[in-house]
Amino acid sequence: MHPQVSTWSYAFASVLHVLFAVYLAFAWQRGGRATFLIVAVVVSAAWAATTWIYLLTGWAWLFNLGNLLDVLRFGAWFSFLLVMLSQSGPEQEASSRWPRPMSYAIVSLGAIGVLLFTLDVPLYGTPVKIWSATSLAVAVFGLVLLELFYRSVSERSRWGIKPLSLGLAALLAFDVYFFSDALLFGRVDPVIWSVRGFAHTLILPLLAISASRNPEWTFRVSLSRDVVFHSTALAFAGLYLLTVAGAGYYMRYFGGEWGQALQLALLFGGCLFLCGVAVSGAFRARLRVMLAKHLFAYRYDYRNEWQEVTQALSLAGDGLGLGESVVKALASLVESPGGGVWLKDNDGLYSQQARLNMPDSGVQEREDSPFARFLLEREWVLNLEDQRSGRRRSDEMPRPDWVDEIDDLWLIVPLISSGSLVGFVMLLTPRTPIDVNWEVLDLLKMAARQSAGYFARMQAAEALIEARKFDAFNRMSAFVVHDLKNLVAQLSLMLRNAERHKDNPEFQADMLETVRHVESRMRGLMTQLMEKTPINQRKPVNMRAVLEHVVHSRRMCMPRPALSGDVPDLFVMAHAERLERVLGHIVQNALDATPEHGSVSVDLSREGRHACVTVRDTGSGMSAVFVRDQLFKPFQTTKASGMGIGAYEAQQYVQEIGGVLAVHSEVGEGSRFDIRLPLAMSVVNDSNEAVAN
């Protein structure tokens, strides 16, 4: 009796029925119809498990218990159908109502009749005929009850119970065949009995679909469209390969010496065709459309579609630009192979900015054209196929002249964000015919609004980056102008002193050195301005050399600044020219605030891991409020010809290289600027080694 096949058949049935029952139990929300359905599945699981254990152990009482559970299983399914009939609602026609007492009486009598022959049923002999006849009558009654149930449901509600009706009809039809064969030949066919578990398990997906379609059953059941799609594709592939293998077998059997060759050729051709279908986008598109039409109430799984669109847009830049990602996301919703994106530029022209599987197009559209205004005002998804076929009049919406220039153009989807038409997407003719109904249009509009938001943010980000570039250039230009002002001041001071010291050889040498220095600085500033970026490269800079150059370049000023004390060689990581410029600003400010009889001193010392620069003056000083609120604020100055950015740049650059700038000042008592800069690591390490030695 094919024990191995039978064992696997009923084991498969018991495991899947248990899993399905557990799933329904977790999804149960305390509904009457749901309770009867769970009971029917649980009893079916018990029947399959009992038969499976009987096949493993050989205990006869388990065989009889399995037959008893088989009867109870039929009773549970009939009870579920009767509950559905009794709760079908006022829409059920009076002619199709079944008298409730009569139905229960027939089910009870049938169950008792089968039960009489269940306790001891051999595989051969007269009891088998009586048992099979009674069971056949019950199965036929089940088909009649199922037909009554299906007719009692209104036409608009049958969509939800079609999978259930199909599954139960297949189950009952299989049992009619099984018991008819047993009644005809007076014995139970072992092959049919061995696959009965497989056959009764195949209806579970259909039950799950009906439970998900009927929330009034109080089940929270959801089916993954991806699972349905891949399962259906796998089933078609398996059926196709079985058909090819069967055809090859019979060709080999009847084909003589040509049979084996034809079998191999047919099998190879079948596998090749199957692989071609598997990689075919058109085939997958047609399969999705077919499944969406016949298995689901709505075409799309909106949660899944929203996640895919969002993921496609968020991953823009990983091989595809934002425009190509938008085309791919919208095209995948309607099985289109590709398209293009038209975005508005600064001149108000919409032009192609990205494309996917679409030739480059020079089509342009002005933002004030009737077509652009129509897209903005109506927010319609334009279906050009409707215009071509005459289903929509061409005067309902403007038709640009360039529409006929693009091959296979199908849909035009507007991209609207914050009341502005950012652009539009053109999609090419789909791989399979698509009914562009309200559901498709709403999903396209949702995805288009999401995409338009991404485009608007991208354009805003580009405008912000451009504005920041201008801002950086303007700031750099201000610093350059400030440096030029200081250089001009040095030249002016030199010219004023030239009248008195022009015959002095030392003055002439200083003048040439000053002109050479100014020329070098101006050339560097021009280079920096032309490169449009500040010079930020850092390397070890000798603070002693920088301070000596700052003091020496202002030796003609009155009072003359002095570098006091024993100046050590300390190195910091900075750009030499910028650091000299910053320290020069501070020294120059001290000179400007100090009368000729005053003094300005510059000190350099080391404190741990820092180089400390102190600039003291005996000038007019500053109030604490001025230091706090105005000294380091850009474009705030007390000088008639000042720009107010010297102290601001000094503070910014000192902080940029990891230092600290502190100011101590009193009105009438002068000021002190303390600058602490971290030493270069090589200097710190050398110092630590010297201490260790």
Span 298-317, mean pLDDT?
A: 65
Span 652-677, mean pLDDT?
A: 91
Query: Who's near 419: CB < 8 A, 6+ residues apart?
Result: none
pLDDT value, residue 287: 57
**Topology annotation, domain 3-222:** Rhopdopsin 7-helix transmembrane proteins (1.20.1070)
Q: Residue 671: phi, psi to the nearest 5?
A: -140, 160
CATH assignment, 302-457: 3.30.450.40
In this structure, how many other beta carbons lie within 10 angstroms of the beta carbon of residue 60?
A: 10
pLDDT value, residue 663: 92
DSSP character at residue 70: H
- 546: tokens are 């920088």
- CA distance linking residue 289 with residue 611, whole number of Å: 75
Q: Which residue has the higher pLDDT, 102 or 678?
A: 678
pLDDT value, residue 341: 92
Looking at domain 538-692, does it have CATH number 3.30.565.10? yes
Query: Is residue 557's pLDDT more than 90?
Result: no
Which has the minimum average pLDDT: 95-104, 465-474, 550-559? 95-104
Query: Is residue 603's pLDDT more than 90?
Result: yes
Q: Is 40 helix (H, G, I), strand (E, B) or coil?
A: helix
> For residues 30 and 218, is the Cβ–Cβ distance under 8 A?
yes
- Mean pLDDT of all residues belonging to the chain: 75
| Band of pLDDT at residue 22, cut at 50, 70 and 90 | confident
Q: Using one digit for the tens of pLDDT, what is the confidence trace for 436-479?
A: 877 788 888 888 888 888 888 888 887 787 777 667 666 666 66
Helix (H) or strand (E) holding 239: helix 225-254
Summary count for the chain: helices (H), strands (E)? 23, 13
| Band of pLDDT at residue 96, cut at 50, 70 and 90 | very low
Query: Is residue 639's pLDDT more than 80?
Result: no
Q: Which amino acid is at 379?
A: E
